[in-house]
Structure 1
Amino acid sequence: MLDYTEYTKFLIGLIAIVNPIGVIPVFLALTADLYPQERRRIINMSVVAVASILLISLLFGEILLEFFGISINSFRVGGGILILLMAIGMMHAKSEPKAAKESYQADDRDSIAVVPLAIPLLAGPGAISTVIIEAHRGSSVMHYSILAGDILVIAALLWAVFQLTPWISRHLSVMGMTIVTRIMGLLLAAIAIEFIANGLKGLFPSLAA
């Protein structure tokens, strides 16, 4: 089991990757013509989908890596590069949610809760990679329980942000959302570098000397 500060760090990092504030413009665009009860159903479905995807990654991610013969250190480097690219895009105000807004046209109203909201906007490759890498750092029931608790906190935060979306959109300008996204991107860049450094040390032990 890790120190509690490590779990807090994981929680903050996952919040930065999921970036619930950054997905608000996409959510507003996809649900603009829906009735309140339809919007609430999409919110609930999306939050459940995100929590389910991340919990499945937590419990079975390492098994999948072993099945495909991928070492955790290789996955750290690959995941770190992926997160770094995401962070660079966020710091240039070219975050994935904005691109997805232009790419997805949802005809089925219920389906937008899963695609594109849950996947790939919220529980995308970056979030899944982070969960799998963190899960590998311990093997106790307590370790997995705390990580699962962090994921549930993320789900609760997402639900709250989605519920407050009309209020947030009125009080937080596009510039404000951009600033938040860039701050999250800077934090993500630091986390990504740490992932890459630890992966390289594992692949090339001489680097740790």
Structure 2
Amino acid sequence: MQDALDFGLLAFASLFTMIDPLGIVPLFLTMTQGLDREHMNRIAFKATLTALAILIFIAFTGRAVFEFFGISINSLRIVGGIIFLIIGYDMLQAHIARTKKSDESSQEYADDIAITPLAIPMICGPGAITSMIVFSGDASTMPRQMALFGALAAVILITYLALRGAKYLMRVIGPNGSRVLLRLMGLIVMSVAVEFLLSGLTPVLREIFMVNGG
């Protein structure tokens, strides 16, 4: 039991760090400007539920699926970096700011961003995917498996609650603060994109040079 508890705490710490629920809030705020609370809550629920389903699926089949299609974690890092770079640039140019739209267009927009980029790659990113693959491989007993999925559920719940409370933060910072936050987070997201790209490209380039050198 103690082994499963220690394993669950380690998995929780890793997943919480990789998903970073509080770090997602600024992007969530900037992408949902102009939407009412109902749509924001719907986006938060759909994004976290989608991410949970994907990570559970990956826990059971991730390694086999990746090997079958020949997909590496480095490839995910590169793709995630490119997506983050585009998002960060748009934020820096304040292109993500929203205006009030009809219920139909708001719902369509909510459905779009709940999956990408919120569920993938913000919540379910390369780091979270890698963590689930590694920990699922180490979860060789039923208590460990229960601890792993309990840790995942706890992190996803925290993420959902953080996104649900984002509207209150919006009221505190106001429209001017929101614009400043938008550009600041654009810089941060682009910095994260560069880190993703470097961490994904470095092993690939090293392997290419080793092959050519050999």
User: TM-score interval w.r.t. the shorter chain?
Assistant: 0.5 to 0.7
Residue 85 (str. 1) matches residue 87 (str. 2) = no
For residues 112 and 73 of structure 2, what CA distance do their matches in structure 1 show?
25
Structure 1 length normalisation: TM-score?
A: 0.63
Query: What residue number does 2:191 align with?
Result: 186
* 39-48 vs 143-152, which moves further: 143-152
Q: Percent identity?
A: 12
Contact 1:80–1:195, Cα closer than 8 Å, also in 2:
yes
Query: What residue number does 1:49 align with?
Result: 50
Query: What residue number does 1:119 align with?
Result: 115
Q: Alignment partner for residue 131 of structure 2, among 127, 131, 134? A: 134
Query: What residue number does 2:151 align with?
Result: 149
Residue 160 (str. 1) matches residue 157 (str. 2) = no
Q: Could you give the per-residue CA deviations for residues 68-89 of structure 1, whole angstroms, max 9, x where no partner exists?
A: 3x15xxx233222212223433
Q: How far apart are 1:122 and its partner, in Å?
A: 0.8
Q: How far apart are 1:192 and its partner, in Å?
A: 3.7
For residues 168 and 189 of structure 1, what CA distance do their matches in structure 2 show?
28
Q: How far apart are 1:175 and its partner, in Å?
A: 0.9
Q: How far apart are 1:200 and its partner, in Å?
A: 5.2
For residues 133 and 165 of structure 2, what CA distance do their matches in structure 1 show?
34
For residues 101 and 151 of structure 1, what CA distance do their matches in structure 2 show?
31
Q: Alignment partner for residue 176 of structure 1, among 177, 181, 186? A: 181
For residues 144 and 194 of structure 1, what CA distance do their matches in structure 2 show?
31
Query: What residue number does 2:3 align with?
Result: none
**For residues 188 and 45 of structure 1, do their structure 2 counterparts lie closer, same or farther at Cα, with a shift above 3 Å needed?**
same
Q: How far apart are 1:8 and its partner, in Å?
A: 4.7
For residues 16 and 194 of structure 2, what CA distance do their matches in structure 1 show?
16
Contact 1:57–1:132, Cα closer than 8 Å, also in 2:
yes
> Which sections of structure 1, spanning at least 5 residues, go unmatched?
none
State which structure, 1 or 2, has the greater radius of gyration over its C-alpha atoms: 2
Contact 2:90–2:96, Cα closer than 8 Å, also in 1:
no
Q: Which amino acid aligns with 1:76?
A: I
Q: How far apart are 1:21 and its partner, in Å?
A: 1.5
Contact 1:135–1:147, Cα closer than 8 Å, also in 2:
no
> Which sections of structure 2, spanning at least 5 residues, go unmatched?
1-5
